[in-house]
Structure 1
Amino acid sequence: MLDFKELSMDGTDLERLVREIFVREGYETHWTGKGPDGGRDLLVIEKVQGPLSNFERTWLVQCKHKAYSGKSVGREESQSLVTDCKSAKADGYLLVCTTPLTTGLLTTYKELQSNWCGTQRDMGTGNSSTQKMEIDNNPKGRLLMNSHKENHVN
């Protein structure tokens, strides 16, 4: 089982880990500037090539590392979500967190998903146990986590 407390308390290891996962999966990634919480957001470019068309989708990825405090990620974490996505010209949003989301934040995300600018947009929401399971069950995720532990020992 993945223990998020093995990552640095300031969240930079989580940000790097998430970026490494996207890079290893073939996505183009770019850092944004530091946010109000001191963390950096990640822009992930998804290049879709289909039989009928090719297009790109930009995802704003935010990481919230609260494993040490154990606090849930709450509604206050999303106060600038729409503004952040518009500023980054992002088509979608993904939140990666190490603790569960509050029901208030889940409700906010569901409302945003159904009402976002009057168009259909993709928004990824989940909780840390789902993400842990996905990383733990994915052989690439296990290898990446082991590599991350070896390269970022305190």
Structure 2
Amino acid sequence: MAIDYKRLGIDGEDFELLCRDVLESYGAVILSEPTRGPDQKKDLVIEIISQDALGNTERVKYLVQCKHKAHSGKSVLESDIGDFRSACLLHETDGYFLITSTIPSVTVSNNLNA
């Protein structure tokens, strides 16, 4: 099933809230909600808690950036996400999520894979 993200508002706020709701429905704990204004490269901070077969619990905090480009159809560029490694340090997270309504550029994809 394809989702028509163009039905969401152009400013990205609806997309951020949708991302929050989807992450929460999959068990993520929302530590920081989306806000308006300058966000220091942070749309959400979430925590994912997992437990192995022996009962050991692991908690991992993630910085989440939501990029809504469906109206333009453009890819997410490096300039859109900035230095995500520094942003993770700034927000004291262990990992990084990029959620986009289109696709990342090849450079962004390569940087994330590295």
TM (norm. structure 2) is 0.84
8 Å CA contact 1:74, 1:101 repeated in 2: yes
Give structure 2 stretches of 5+ with no counterpart. none
Structure 2 CA distance for partners of 1:79 and 1:104, relative to 1, 3 Å: same
1:25 aligns with 2:29: no
Contact 1:73–1:100, Cα closer than 8 Å, also in 2: yes
Higher helix share goes to which structure?
1
In structure 2, which of residues 59, 74, 89 is the aligned counterpart of residue 86 of structure 1?
89
Query: 1 or 2 for the larger relative contact order (CA 8 Å, sep ≥6)?
Result: 2
- 1:8 correspondence with 2:9: yes
- Deviations 1:109-140 (Å, cap 9, x if unpaired)? 222xxxxxxxxxxxxxxxxxxxxxxxxxxxxx
| Structure number with larger C-alpha Rg | 1
Matched, 1:74 2:80: no
User: Considering only aligned residues, what root-mean-square deviation do their CA atoms show, in Å?
Assistant: 2.2
Structure 2 counterpart of 1:62, which letter? Q
Map residues 98-109 of structure 1 onto 2, 5 A cutoff: 98-109=101-112
Cα offset, 1:85, TM superposition: 0.5
- Structure-1 separation of matches of 2:42 and 2:35: 6
**2: CA distance, partners of 1:38 / 1:79:** 10
Deviations along 1:49-102, one digit per CA (max 9) or x if unpaired, are 223421200011110001111111112123221111011111111100011111
Residue 45 of structure 1 pairs with residue 53 of structure 2:
no
Q: Does the 8 Å contact 2:41/2:81 carry over to 1? A: no
- Out of 58, 62, 71, the residue aligned to residue 59 of structure 1 is 62
Distance 1:39 1:13 in 2: 17
**Count of residues in correspondence between the two structures:** 111
Over residues 20-58 of structure 1, what are the superposed CA-to-partner deviations in whole Å (9 max), with x where a residue is unaligned?
112222221022655648985111111112234212000
Is the 2:49–2:57 contact (alpha carbons within 8 Å) kept by the matching residues of 1?
yes
Structure 1: gaps (5+ residues): 112-154
